[in-house]
Structure 1
Amino acid sequence: MKNKKKFTIAGMVAILVLTLGLAINATLLQPKTDIGKMQAIDGLFIKVAGAQLVDNSKKLRVHFEVENKMKQTTGIGAGNFHITVNKKDYQMTGGNNFGQEIAKGETITGNGYYEFPKEQDKVLLTYTSPEGETLTWNLGKIDEK
Structure 2
Amino acid sequence: MIHIKNLARYSIDKLGGTMKSIKNNLFIVFIIALMVMVSACTTEKNDEKTDLNKTIRSNKIDMVVTDLVVSNSQSEKKDTIMLEVEMEFKNNSKSDYGIGAHDFKVKDQDGKIHDVYGMEPDNFGDVLPPGKSMKGTGYYEVPKNTKNVSFIYQPKEESLAEWKLTVPERKR
- The verdict on a shared fold, with TM-score over 0.5 as the criterion, is yes
2:93 counterpart letter in structure 1: M
Work out whether residues 152 and 159 of structure 2, in 8 Å CA contact, stay in contact via their aligned partners in 1.
no
Runs of 4+ in 1 over 6 A off after TM superposition: none
Question: 1:10 is matched with which residue?
Answer: none
Question: 1:62 is matched with which residue?
Answer: 85
2:59 pairs with 42, 51, 61, which one?
Answer: 42
Q: CA deviation at 1:141?
A: 3.3
Bigger radius of gyration, 1 or 2? 2
Work out whether residues 52 and 60 of structure 1, in 8 Å CA contact, stay in contact via their aligned partners in 2.
yes
Superposition pairs of residues 1-145 of structure 1, within 5 angstroms: 29-55=46-72, 58-85=81-108, 86-93=110-117, 94-95=119-120, 96-130=122-156, 132-145=158-171
Task: Tell me the TM-score normalised to structure 1 length.
Answer: 0.75
Aligned residue pairs: how many? Answer: 122
Q: CA deviation at 1:133?
A: 4.2
Unaligned runs of 5+ in 2: 1-38, 74-79
Q: Percent identical across equivalent pairs?
A: 27
Cα RMSD for the two superposed structures? 2.3
2:112 counterpart letter in structure 1: K
Q: CA deviation at 1:121?
A: 3.0
Listed one character per residue, the Cα deviations across residues 66-118 of structure 1 (whole Å, up to 9, x for unaligned) are 10001100100000001000210001003210000000000000100001111
Task: Tell me the TM-score normalised to structure 2 length.
Answer: 0.64
Q: CA deviation at 1:54?
A: 1.0
Distance 2:70 2:46 in 1: 22
Q: Tell me: CA distance 1:52–1:45, structure 2 relative to 1, closer, same or farther (3 Å).
A: same
